[in-house]
Chains A and B, each alone.
Chain A
Amino acid sequence: MNNLSSIKDKSFLEILNRFKTGIGLLALVIVLSFMSPYFLTVPNLLNVVRQVSIIAIISFGMTMVILTGGIDLSVGSMLAFAGAISAGMIVNTGLNVYLAILIGLAAGTALGLFNGLAVAKAKLPAFIVTLAMMTVARGFTLIYTNGRPISGFDETFRFFGAGYIGAIPVPVIIMFLLLIVIYILLKKTPLGRYIYAIGGNEKATKLSGINTDKIKIAVYALNGFLAAVSGIILTSRLNSAQPMAGEGYELDAIAAVVLGGTSLSGGSGTVIGTIVGALIIAVLNNGLNLLNVSSFYQLVAKGGVILLAVFLDRKSQQQ
């Protein structure tokens, strides 16, 4: 059913459709640069990307989870737990900074692994499993920290959240490295292909000889790892591990994924879309701050943008 004569317009529309989130971001940037003289300056833009890096890193993991048809509500809590563990190892135990970071990463990965096992092996719904983990991991964090922030780090640890390489903040560099790694993982490796396949049709994937349980466990574990990376960066940047850190981040991450065009039912979407989605939210927040809009109104604007974007996405898919 090819139409030779209309292929040209069709592909133009398709390209437009494919990059619509990017076009949306661009439009937002253009509008804001007219409304605020400070918006389009290097320091401000660097500030935006540094702010976005923490949410962006967890939303990369969230993208993979959602691509398999799952969800993870526990990322905010896993983030706090990993941050607290690393901080505690440094401040209370006096451990080597790099070793402490490794232990924090392992802690996040272990929690994610548990999520994965419960979803894949015990066949429990991801929503319930990760909802439970959200509470449990927060509880662990409060128990470990005694409900009090842990602070007092040296320069080595501060580097990951507050340092610069040249003019670029370190969190931004970590974010870009992870973006590249996960982009390649999803696009070029069998694991990535299986992630899409499971979200598209898990039964058929399994009958094609793929160990779908193993893939799902890996995805949730990787998500826990990425939450831990975010947690350590956040702790380093704030110079303190807050027991309530990352609360509500799961919703920001899901919003970024959805804004980026990933289907909540799984099987289609890209991590590039997700970073653009995360940037839209961050630019919007930043712009409204510069325009002195009250944070109460910002919440309304953010929700409205998410709803509008998903509505437009649905519309374009129906056509």
Chain B
Amino acid sequence: MANQKVLEMKNITKTFPGVKALDRVNFSLEKGEVHALLGENGAGKSTLMKVLNGIHERDEGEIFVKGEPVKFQNTKEAQNAGLAIIHQELELIPYLNVAENIFLGREERNGVFINYKKLYQKTEEVLDLLGVDIDPKAKIKDLNIGSQQMVEIAKAVSQNADILVMDEPTSSLTNQEIEILFELIERLKEQEIAIVYISHRLEEVFEICDRVTVLRDGQFVGEVKTSETDEDELIKMMVGRTIEDRFPKMKFNPGEEILRIENLSVPEEIENASFSLKKGEILGIAGLMGSGRTELAKAIFGVFKEKTGQIFYRGDQLKINSPADAIDNGIYYLSEDRKEEGLILGLSVADNISISVLKTILNANTFIDAAAEKDLAEKYIKDLNIKTPSEKQLVKNLSGGNQQKVVISKLLSTKPEVVIFDEPTRGIDVGAKREIYNLMQDLIDEGVAVILISSELPEVLNLSNRILVMHEKEIMGELDAAEADQEAIMKLATGRRSQ
């Protein structure tokens, strides 16, 4: 591989009103390399990429693509120069099929009609080149997220992109899908396509990236070869201080049983789940995406109308027919999808924090006590260190980590006795993750029972005392977290019961 620079960004500065989002940042990308762009939320990764493809205009600095100085005015120009960005939120049309999506706007035609024969043929060619096994005639809505992402990548490749930016591509993929994605990335490298890889997951960076550029607070911290660094050094570069361990040493204090599930089934979602949960413990639930972890949690939380089996709570059988029932009884579920199921983005921080307990802060039993609501919000803003100008700020203006803290505040305000965290640290930065881990320790210290669902195996292993592993809607087995390792979990998660 010759050291050919396909992209070079020099001294990029971008100022938004009141904040220097980028301050003389450098970034370079060589032909056929995978280059990780690392940094906490708000470090400037997205802004840098938006400056690159013309969504933001830079204040200072130069950009060279294949040696040519460029200044793209919009994404179309960037695309024409061979640059494609695969966003976290995919931009495909659900009711069109794979081929129609890949060649949208560039269809092969016979006069006014689309030449479908040729369209499918060309789609096959692109998919073959990438070694992807997807039916060109499948509708996008019928594909899982992993396959949809492949289609998005195929679309970029079909447009002759030779610089791909992948923004958190694995954030919603299962481990299997991630493996397929990594194979695909290897093939892209063989095609001499250069990739900018934005991710929070350090393991991935070490698995597939050649070099790493780290940003912090809009500044360039450094560029290192992956082969010459380790996780600790990268974390230090990202947060600007050493974090001794990624995970705190948890102290569990299992007490009496608070929740027992017996033969819980939900048609097409959960089969015969049984387990018990004690006060002061963290029960991890591992499993591949689609294995039924979230559905199990939602079944307990009263989301599904049709279900069989029993839930025993503090020794007595409890009927939970709605989230309201669950919350009234002290059970709270934190959704994995904070934007769709956690927050009301257009309302303020205070409105979001107080929504589950509004009825307890009324004047004359009718009107919301504004002062009490403000106090409540301010308490959690302080306790959880939520970075917001005030409690009146709209939630949509906060960063991911702070948004997550708002959802957690909402949950804490109800003083729950059982908390189910579903992917509580997805897409948030190292510092905020650590704060959430510490908060879980506080909860179990107070005797709260915690269930932790996570796709990150190290997280489940380090934070729980027991681990349930799910596979295809069933609980496959239980592991003692102190003795288990990733391999043991994966065995059960892929359906091999024997140890």
Contacts and interface: CB of A to CB of B under 8 A. Distances in A.
A196 B389 contact: no
Given A5-B18, A207-B323, A208-B410, A189 B343 contact: no
Contacts of B351: 193, 196-197
Interface centre among B323, B335, B345, B410 (most CB of A within 10 A): B323
Main secondary structure of the interface of B (DSSP, over half): mixed
B146 interface: no
B355 interface: yes
Interface string B469-494: 00000000000000000000000000
B340 to A, nearest CB: 6
A188 interface: yes
A294 interface: no
B342 interface: yes
Nearest to A203: B341
Which residue of B343, B351, B367 has the most chain A CB atoms within 10 A of its CB atom?
B367
A201 B303 CA distance: 16
Contact of A6 (B18, B301, B367): B18
Max count, chain B CB within 10 A of own CB: residue among A5, A6, A193: A193
B499 to A, nearest CB: 37
Given A190-B358, A197-B351, A210-B355, A3 B344 contact: no
Given A204-B340, A207-B335, A3 B347 contact: no
B79 interface: no
A209 B328 contact: yes
Contacts of B326: 209
A205 interface: yes
A205 B344 contact: yes
A189 B365 CA distance: 9
Chain A CB within 10 A, most for which of B18, B19, B335, B342: B18
B343 to A, nearest CB: 6
Given A5-B18, A197-B344, A208 B368 contact: no
Contacts of A267: 344, 346-347
A209 B17 CA distance: 39
B335 A205 contact: no
Interface in A175-196: 184, 188-190, 193-194, 196
A18 interface: no
Contacts of A201: 340-341, 343-345
B5 to A, nearest CB: 33
Contacts of B366: 189
Contacts of B410: 208
A204 B324 contact: no
B340 A203 contact: yes
A211 B367 contact: no
B368 A193 contact: yes
Interface in A187-227: 188-190, 193-194, 196-197, 200-201, 203-211
A4 interface: yes
B104 interface: no
B344 to A, nearest CB: 4
Nearest to A1: B19
Contacts of A206: 322-323
Contacts of B342: 204, 207
A3 B359 contact: no
B362 interface: yes
Interface in A1-23: 1-6
B417 to A, nearest CB: 15
Contact of B358 (A4, A193, A211): A193
Q: Which of A6, A197, A268 has the most CB of B within 10 A?
A: A197
Nearest to B359: A190
Contact of A3 (B19, B303, B346, B358): B19
A181 to B, nearest CB: 12
A69 to B, nearest CB: 11
Size class of the contact patch on chain A: 20 to 34
A150 to B, nearest CB: 39
Nearest to B325: A209
Contacts of B421: none
Contacts of B341: 201, 203-204, 207
A208 B356 contact: yes
Interface string B2-32: 0000000000000011110000000000000
Contacts of B17: 1, 3, 6
B413 to A, nearest CB: 10
Given A6-B17, A197-B351, A207 B333 contact: yes
Given A205-B355, A207-B335, A200 B368 contact: no
A200 B362 CA distance: 23
A188 to B, nearest CB: 4
Nearest to A192: B368
Contacts of A200: 344-347
B327 interface: yes
A190 B362 contact: yes
A1 B367 CA distance: 33
Interface string B336-364: 00001111111100010001101100100
Nearest to B322: A211
B18 A208 contact: no
A200 B303 CA distance: 20
A3 B18 contact: yes
Interface in B28-53: none
A203 B301 CA distance: 14
Contact of A204 (B16, B328, B343): B343
Contacts of B362: 190
A189 B368 contact: yes
B16 A1 contact: yes
Given A188-B368, A197-B355, A210 B347 contact: no
A5 B17 CA distance: 9
Most buried by B among A190, A206, A268: A190
A11 to B, nearest CB: 13
Nearest to A197: B344
Contacts of A208: 323, 327, 355-356, 410
Contacts of B343: 201, 204
A169 to B, nearest CB: 30
Interface string B286-329: 00000000000000010100000000000000000011101110
A193 B347 CA distance: 10
Given A6-B17, A211-B324, 4 more contacts: A200-B345, A203-B341, A210-B355, A268-B346
27 contacts: A3-B19, A6-B18, A188-B368, A189-B367, A193-B368, A194-B355, A196-B344, A196-B351, A197-B344, A197-B355, A200-B346, A201-B341, A201-B344, A203-B340, A204-B343, A204-B344, A205-B344, A206-B322, A207-B323, A207-B342, A208-B355, A209-B324, A209-B327, A209-B328, A210-B324, A210-B355, A211-B324
User: 3 closest A-B pairs (Cβ-Cβ)?
Assistant: A3-B18, A209-B327, A200-B344
